[in-house]
Structure 1
């Protein structure tokens, strides 16, 4: 036995001009003196933002260090063979008190060529919302490259974009290449490939506190955009109490949602991967051979691949969490 246990990490907070205070008021996070906390990086292997363990005997070690020590026992043998000490996912909460820029991410091929980095396919789960809050995912009609440029140059890009009114529990899968934006009033959980490559297309002509507009990446974005059109961009699913329901399955990650009101036994013997839990509602205990770990609303925890059999015990009437792993 490796002696590994459910591992918590210190959130890494990022101030953003569009950020707010719901990391504190809804997710119970203490981000100190930041004026506008826009992002909480829950689990990150991004250079310069490596997560540090906050619980148990590994406290104080960073994510790369513990992968180097425990390798496949921590992340799964297949994952370790492919990614080495680089953790393959970036897990965040995002609090948008203003509209985020309209953006797109390159795929693996383009990102490797330009930035020697992974591409960015991601998904969002809406954890909180204000009335009228919108999510943009994709186009609202068939769009050619020429039409896109015409509307962009005329400052009318939003006329081509598909918007959904955001409701708590909504799920959006954003493959690399899809134009997207989180709207004012949305609090979302984001699961993505480990990549910080973003091409900003339009930023509503906003200026920072020094009077400068943020940099746009118009030309880079043009080669990355998938111009295809879909009638529906929101992921459809139906919750089933005390059972895992799949939200997204792609080569980069699989995400399920589990809503439970009673004890649940989880058997990960056939899964050669770490598992991440993001707590959307309630509080629960993870019971394993290594002991009991309590997870609160808004907390994220990493289950090592070696922890194959556990029990989830609710401490509140209802618990809702996302379960993330790599198949």
Structure 2
């Protein structure tokens, strides 16, 4: 199988809190859905497997490409660790209303309860309405008993850490951190391949049929990290025409690329696929044997076997680059 940089068909997700920014800002038509809360741009989650949308492999599922290409797509060490499952899930999220207050289990708990990976994730804020906020972690140190007392007494908001969010902000959310995306935020999300969420509080909202959404209050207690941390927003220094490392953990490394012209990349020895998420502008990805265009709101997967390539841009481009480091 001859591999090349792969694009995938967008999977649109109707959400009770979704809005119109997926269409008005990212230019993605999610008709006939009235609103769209999430798009899954690259997914190996069962029931939501991404389908190739460009080149000779158009129409093939990601799982089929992995089965045929194996190490050449994923990288030998990634395939050895993750098997045939693609290890990352890439989304765009439009919060027209607050999402539920929630938490995700770590690998150990998710495996025990759901035969699944846990969910560590990160957010890159692409656009924020004035005054938009999000919740990440706690505003004070707690333990299970003090948290449960505050929750039972209706004082959950008092113990949560709320942050004003602006375009360009980054938030890293390890499994166990209580969080929610607030109204007015459009963001890119990179996460482990998992769809396990424990919903703690949902503002007493009802769905289209008038039903309250399911909560997982008891299940969440074993998953929560009750510690307060000094900093929840991820600091980094923007710099043009270089790779800026913004998040690095065992599950993924993410860099920011703000390019004004040509930029060559050499990932020799990485032994891993590379993902590029276009946040703003457009570029051409030039590789041996071809070229792929990349514009705002698009995601492209570069196979592990393709180690040297470059981006060309005339009007400028901002991207996230993500992979799993050794």
Measured against the shorter chain, the TM-score band is over 0.9
Aligned with 1:17: secondary structure? Answer: coil
Residue pair 1:7, 1:55 contacting (<8 A) in 2 also: yes
Cα deviation for residue 154 of structure 1 reads 2.3
Which residue of 2 is the match for residue 176 of structure 1? 175
Which is worse superposed, 143-152 or 127-136? 143-152
Cα deviation for residue 205 of structure 1 reads 1.0
Deviations 1:47-93 (A, max 9, x none): 00000000000000000000000001001110111112110001000
Residue pair 2:75, 2:304 contacting (<8 A) in 1 also: yes
RMSD: 0.8
Whole-Å separation in 2 of the counterparts to 1:297 and 1:93: 11
Say whether 1:191 aligns with 2:183. no
Whole-Å separation in 2 of the counterparts to 1:243 and 1:269: 17
Which residue of 1 is the match for residue 298 of structure 2? 299
Say whether 1:49 aligns with 2:27. no
Cα deviation for residue 159 of structure 1 reads 1.2
Cα deviation for residue 144 of structure 1 reads 2.1
* 1:35-74 correspondence to structure 2 within 5 Å: 35-74=34-73
* 1:17-96 correspondence to structure 2 within 5 Å: 17-96=16-95
Aligned with 2:16: secondary structure? Answer: strand
Which residue of 1 is the match for residue 120 of structure 2? 121
Greater than 4 Å deviation, 4+ residue runs: none
Deviations 1:147-198 (A, max 9, x none): 2112212222111111111100000000000001000001110000000000
Which residue of 2 is the match for residue 325 of structure 1? 323
Whole-Å separation in 1 of the counterparts to 2:9 and 2:291: 19
Whole-Å separation in 2 of the counterparts to 1:254 and 1:16: 28
Whole-Å separation in 2 of the counterparts to 1:215 and 1:326: 34
Aligned with 2:261: secondary structure? Answer: coil
Whole-Å separation in 2 of the counterparts to 1:268 and 1:296: 22
Q: How many residues in Structure 1 have an aligned counterpart in Structure 2?
A: 325
Whole-Å separation in 1 of the counterparts to 2:203 and 2:264: 49
Whole-Å separation in 1 of the counterparts to 2:32 and 2:51: 20
* 1:104-253 correspondence to structure 2 within 5 Å: 104-253=103-252
Residue pair 2:261, 2:314 contacting (<8 A) in 1 also: no
Residue pair 2:110, 2:117 contacting (<8 A) in 1 also: yes
Deviations 1:29-61 (A, max 9, x none): 111111110000000000000000000000000
Whole-Å separation in 2 of the counterparts to 1:315 and 1:154: 57
Cα deviation for residue 273 of structure 1 reads 0.3
Whole-Å separation in 1 of the counterparts to 2:235 and 2:80: 34
* Residues 315 and 58 (structure 1), Cα distance of their counterparts in 2 relative to 1, 3 Å cut: farther
Whole-Å separation in 1 of the counterparts to 2:37 and 2:280: 20
Gaps spanning 5+ residues in structure 2: where? none
